[in-house]
Amino acid sequence: EAGVAQSPRYKIIEKRQSVAFWCNPISGHATLYWYQQILGQGPKLLIQFQNNGVVDDSQLPKDRFSAERLKGVDSTLKIQPAKLEDSAVYLCASSPGQLYNEQFFGPGTRLTVL
Amino acid sequence: RKEVEQDPGPFNVPEGATVAFNCTYSNSASQSFFWYRQDCRKEPKLLMSVYSSGNEDGRFTAQLNRASQYISLLIRDSKLSDSATYLCVVKNTGFQKLVFGTGTRLLVSP
């Protein structure tokens, strides 16, 4: 079974530029998560989708971050404009449903903002 | 105060040693508990769930103390391949979201 796919794997941009990340979850997984992991810290949830609806975006900096999952399958996360402190690994995870305990993570996108 | 707190380490141990990691959580409504493992520059993967009765998986033993809001992970007979960061994770009611600790780094040396 294919795992969670993410692209690009690496991205380097200058501050104030825009960037977008893509995630394709495991087939059939209804719940999709985006996490931000800053070096030396654990992953922090940015947004959680159940199918194509947002369940929790309380920690998403909405002035610059946006995410969508229009058809309830793949998802994009956008940052516009980027700041230096956005340098991090952006992890996408999926699970069959909200009540399922295990989340399956993709390899992440490593973003460097110069 | 962080919702999940761990000693970041690193813990440097020789092969064959026994090592224990601890974690505390602040939200008494937390309902499920886990240890995830994250290798360097890789994604986190579920290592094991943690139950009040304690659970064991080979060389790994996890314990939960709800009264003290404390979770532990014991690794016996450490292997070089155990070198990784171990993330303590709690799942809260409501949105059913996972909250990760900062992780404890383990380095096992020959």
DSSP of B19-55: EEEEEEE--TT--EEEEEEE-TTS-EEEEEEE-TT-E
Least confident of A9-13, A100-104, B77-81: A100-104
Do the chains contact at A44 and B100, CB–CB below 8 Å?
yes
Best probe of the A interface among B97, B104, B105, by most A CBs < 10 A, is: B97
Q: Span B64-85, mean pLDDT?
A: 96
- How far CA B16 is from CA of B9, B59, B71, B77, in Å, comes to 19, 11, 23, 4
Mean residue pLDDT of chain B comes to 93
pLDDT at res. B94: 67
A25 to chain B, any CB pair closer than 8 A? The answer is: no
Residues above pLDDT 90, as percent of chain B: 82
pLDDT higher than threshold 70 for residue B95: no
Do the chains contact at B102 and A41, CB–CB below 8 Å?
yes
pLDDT in tens, B29-67: 888 999 999 999 999 999 999 988 889 999 999 999 999
Backbone phi, psi, residue B81, to 5°? -70, -10
Residues of chain A found within 8 Å of residue B87, distances taken between Cβ atoms: 42-43
pLDDT higher than threshold 80 for residue A1: no
Q: Span B64-80, mean pLDDT?
A: 96
